[in-house]
Amino acid sequence: MSLFHRISSASIANFSKMVTWLRPINGHHCFYRLDSIVCVVLNGSTTESSVGKTSPISSSPRGDVTLFLDVDGVLHRRAPGAEKFTALPQLQQSIRRHPRLEVVISSSWREVFDFEDLVELFDEDLRARIVGSTPVLEQDTEFVRQRECEQWMRTHCPPGQEWIALEDEKALFQPGCPQLLLVDGSKGLQLEDLMRLEERLCEALARVSEVTLARERGARAEEHLHLSCVVTASGDELLAEITYGNKRETLRHADAAELGLALLARGMKPEHVSFPDWKEGFHGMSAGQRAALFGAMRMGRKQRTA
């Protein structure tokens, strides 16, 4: 008998309470009722569909956001004899609402069961979106689960891609890790966790949309207009002044490598970037800062073309 056929729906009643949630995120609203209706309001337009159907509410390209999924303490409560996968049906509805979300198995179950068996846990319409499992690092690695997620992202995803980790063991992640969505393992995934996940996904996908537009704008500018960037420093802050023909954009960042990735996302190449030795209130970047910025841009370009 496959793992999928051992899924029980006995605890679905725990989630059957009708929920309505409406909150603006970057000009968008996510509004849903988990028991019967999925509804989204985007800038005044409304789309409605029945829960249980594939509801392509999100429009971001597949793979724009990665969800790392734990099993014990998330898909069911962490307790001896606890019924398995009780929260999976509800999580699958969240995944369906964002058809460009990809899922990676980060649970220790990946060390015991074949990946194909883990994929069978999910409904057939979602299986193609379970794209892999994280590498297994030495268990004495500090913050090992976070490091495994980060290694997956470096290997399989473009620089700067958004990711979220559903996890019940806080010690496996660095304190304050912004990608961690912590679940109470004694309860497993609950309604409030699903609401937090929905909020995080809406925020992440909104940021993805902004970056996508910036990339398109950068590509158009590079093709038709003069494209340049001047980077200066003031204390710990870096200032990048980008020129697209007669248009200008300013970026500020404390980390040179992160600034390099932000410039790359806007269509910049290393040859577009210059560093004046002096500007009123600013000074030239250090050699280390320049190396970090250019290194991040070159590495990001290699990963994109690999």
Helix (H, G, I), strand (E, B) or coil at 190: coil
Please report whether residue 232 resides in a domain.
yes
Cβ–Cβ under 8 Å, residues 124 and 10: no
Domain hosting residue 115, numbered range = 4-12+52-210
| Amino acid letter, 17 | K
DSSP label at residue 115: H
Please state the rounded mean pLDDT for residues 145-154.
Answer: 93
| Amino acid letter, 248 | R
Same domain, yes or no: 74 and 163: yes
Q: Give the Cα-Cα-Cα angle 166, 8, 51 (nearest 5 degrees).
A: 70
Cβ–Cβ under 8 Å, residues 22 and 31: yes
Same domain, yes or no: 84 and 201: yes
Please report whether residue 255 resides in a domain.
yes
Same domain, yes or no: 292 and 149: no
Same domain, yes or no: 89 and 229: no
Cβ–Cβ under 8 Å, residues 256 and 285: yes
**Whole-prediction pTM:** 0.55
pLDDT tens column, 195-224 = 999 999 988 888 777 666 665 555 544 444
Highest mean pLDDT among 47-56, 125-134, 282-291: 125-134
What integer pLDDT is reported at residue 114 of this predicted model? 93
Same domain, yes or no: 69 and 186: yes
| Whole-number Å distance between alpha carbons of 187 and 2 | 25
Same domain, yes or no: 163 and 111: yes
Same domain, yes or no: 155 and 261: no
| Whole-number Å distance between alpha carbons of 151 and 199 | 25
Same domain, yes or no: 166 and 102: yes
Domain final residue pick, 182, 210, 238: 210
Please report whether residue 197 resides in a domain.
yes
User: Does an H or E element contain 264, and which?
Assistant: helix 256-265
Average pLDDT of the residues of the chain: 76
Confidence of residue 135 (pLDDT cuts 50, 70, 90): very high
Please report whether residue 282 resides in a domain.
yes
Please state the rounded mean pLDDT for residues 178-198.
Answer: 96
Count of domains observed in the chain: 2
Q: Which two tokens stand for residue 303?
A: 């990963």
Cβ within 8 Å of residue 302, ≥6 positions away = none
User: Which of these, 180, 174, 110, 111, lies nearest to 142 by C-alpha position?
Assistant: 174
| Whole-number Å distance between alpha carbons of 293 and 306 | 20
Other beta carbons within 10 angstroms of residue 67's beta carbon come to 25
Q: How far apart are the first and last CA of the chain?
A: 40
Please report whether residue 200 resides in a domain.
yes
pLDDT tens column, 32-69 = 333 332 333 333 333 333 333 332 233 333 578 999 99
- pLDDT of residue 19 exceeding 60, the answer is no
| Amino acid letter, 241 | E
Cβ–Cβ under 8 Å, residues 243 and 220: no
